[in-house]
Amino acid sequence: MECNGCEFHSELYYDSEYQIWLRREHDDSLTVGMTDISQTIAGKILHVRVRRPGTVREPGKPVATIESGKWAGPIPNFIHCVIVEGNIEVLENPVLLNSDPYNAWIARVEASAGVDAALDTFLTGDAAHEGYCRRAREEDIHCQRKVR
């Protein structure tokens, strides 16, 4: 599925601004990634830094930071969690977030209050798709996943 050329995956969980996505793993950890909208706005990603495994992150405290040609800042975090790991492939080749934002995840975390409670605050399915498309249209965002 897509909107304005921005790739969307209905099985994932999204924050209300469609900056990040979360995927529930079989071990009940959560994988965190950037949306196609976010990578497009950021531009070519040059550097990614993930907090050390075992680091506790409260809502509002980022799990990672990125630098691009246009912007440097946090990967937002909306849940109380513990960092499990960073994606070594992305740390070594950050532009993967531009070329394949839904396979090039950033970090894995464990939700402190449990995965179900954490995911309750995120959007998924049709509701997420509607909001994602609305943002892409209203802000005239046309995603590009090629390496720039």
Domain range list for the chain? 2-139
Residue 147, C-beta contacts closer than 8 angstroms, at least 6 positions apart: 44, 95, 98, 99
pLDDT of residue 147: 54
Cα–Cα distances in Å, from 43 out to 5, 29, 66, 119, 145?
15, 29, 11, 28, 10
In this predicted structure, what is the pLDDT of residue 148? Answer: 45
Instruction: Provide the pLDDT for residue 129.
Output: 97
Digitized pLDDT (tens) for each residue of the chain, 148 residues in all? 889 999 999 999 999 999 999 999 999 999 999 999 999 999 999 999 999 999 999 999 999 999 998 889 999 999 999 999 999 999 999 999 999 999 999 999 999 999 999 999 999 999 999 999 999 999 999 998 765 4
Which option is the CATH number for 2-139: 2.40.50.100, 3.40.140.10, 3.40.50.2300, 3.30.420.40?
A: 2.40.50.100
